[in-house]
Amino acid sequence: MIQAYKGLLTKDIKVMKNYYFLGMGLILLAVVGGGLLTKYFKEPNIMAAVMLMVLFAHIMYIPLFILASLNIEAKTQTWLHNPNSAALLLLSKLGSALVAYLFSICFTLLLAAAVYFLYPSAEFYTLIQGSLLTNTLYMSIAITFVTIYFAVWILFYWSFFHSLKNVSVAGALRWPILILFWIIQTIAGNYITSSKWFEKIISIGVIEADAKWLSIDLEVNQSSASIGMNPTVEISLVHGLIYTLLVIFLFYLSAWLIEKKVEV
């Protein structure tokens, strides 16, 4: 199984090599664009803001990477003609996307460091409370969790979409069904997370953590306001557990759909 996974991972990384370089190119383009604007307007804050945007854009990195990779597979009949489990095939997609993501986010952080040393006077940095380095690392970790979470949803929606292909009537209405499902999922999700019983559940096992990295002061005409002013944040372990279980459930549901319902 390890050899099979290694083979799949190598294949997925090779197949997506061009997309990876495209991602790097877009980051460089954003940095060059930001640099030119900074020079033109003589405003170092632009560069710092661009770097923050590039960092946050990584939230969509793994979902988009996986979607592109799955769409390449959909064009051939090679991927599913494979004796290994669908879970292994999907795990390789996640693994290859994670490898590319880690390179990309490290590259972004290095560029951000370079930008910091080039424009140390930008006021933008003073808006972030606490250590810039620590806060940026916390932000990157949070972005990593969010991008993996979205990626698993993409796996599920892709599998769901393709499993409808050969279902009579539903096959022709795949997009409306998918959109309807997304609307229902969003409404149900909002209903559950705003309900009192859910709040009670997630209040179990709450720990307090330093959250200065979430707090950015915004100065407006001498008076100061801030987003996420709490110096500490409450992290619910149950909440984390629920999301972890949801991710595992969606992953295996996607694998089951591919195993049983997706046809070539």
Partner 1 sequence: MIDFRSVSKKYGRHNGLSNISFSLEQGKIYGLLGPNGSGKSTALKLIAGLVSPTSGQVIVKGKEANRKAAADVIYLTEVDIFYPSFKIKDMIDYYDSQFQDFSVIKARELLDFMNLEEDRKIKNLSKGNRGRLKLVLALSRQASVLLLDEPFSGLDPMVRDSIVKGLLSYIDFEKQTVIIATHEIDEIEPLLDDVIALSDGEFLGMFNVEELREKEGLSIIEWMRRTFKE
CB of 27 to partner 1, least distance (A): 21
Contact region with partner 1 (CB under 8 A), list: 5-13, 108-116, 183-191, 243-251: 5-13
CB of 30 to partner 1, least distance (A): 25
- Residue burial 129-151, b: 16+ Cβ < 10 Å; e: rest: beeeeebbebbbeebbebbbbbb
Contact region with partner 1 (CB under 8 A), list: 56-64, 165-173, 183-191, 237-245: 165-173
Length of the chain: 264
Q: Which is nearer to partner 1, 7 or 25 (CB)?
A: 7
Q: Which of 117, 120, 121, 168 contacts partner 1 by CB under 8 A?
A: 168
Contact region with partner 1 (CB under 8 A), list: 21-29, 44-52, 151-159, 169-177: 169-177
Q: Which of 40, 169, 223, 224 contacts partner 1 by CB under 8 A?
A: 169
Pair type for strands 206-210 and 216-220: unpaired
Q: How many C-beta atoms lie closer than 10 Å to residue 1's C-beta?
A: 8
Structure tokens at 105: 């986010």
Q: Which of 40, 42, 77, 196 contacts partner 1 by CB under 8 A?
A: 77
CB of 2 to partner 1, least distance (A): 10
The three-class DSSP label of residue 210 is strand
Q: Which of 76, 185, 190, 203 contacts partner 1 by CB under 8 A?
A: 76
Which amino acid, residue 251?
A: F
Angle 151-23-153 from CA coordinates, rounded to 5°: 10
Distance CA(95)–CA(8), nearest Å, equals 10
Q: Is residue 172 involved in binding partner 1 (CB under 8 A)?
A: yes
Q: Is residue 84 involved in binding partner 1 (CB under 8 A)?
A: yes
Q: Which of 71, 131, 166, 203 contacts partner 1 by CB under 8 A?
A: 166
Distance CA(181)–CA(171), nearest Å, equals 15
Which residue carries 């972030």 as its tokens? 128
C-alpha distances (whole Å) from 184 to each of 81, 108, 188 are: 34, 36, 6
Q: Is residue 72 involved in binding partner 1 (CB under 8 A)?
A: yes
Distance CA(182)–CA(196), nearest Å, equals 23
Q: Which of residues 7-46 bind partner 1 (CB under 8 A)?
A: 7-8, 10-11, 14-15, 17-18
Q: How many C-beta atoms lie closer than 10 Å to residue 94's C-beta?
A: 21
Q: Which is nearer to partner 1, 17 or 39 (CB)?
A: 17
Q: Which of 86, 109, 143, 152 contacts partner 1 by CB under 8 A?
A: 86
Q: Is residue 171 involved in binding partner 1 (CB under 8 A)?
A: yes
Instruction: Decide: 90 and 12 in contact? Cβ < 8 Å.
Output: no
30: CB partners within 8 A, 6+ apart: 50, 53, 54
Q: Which is nearer to partner 1, 81 or 196 (CB)?
A: 81
Which spans of this chain sit near partner 1 (rule: CB under 8 A)? 3-4, 6-8, 10-11, 14-15, 17-18, 72, 76-78, 80-84, 86, 166-169, 171-172, 259-260, 263-264
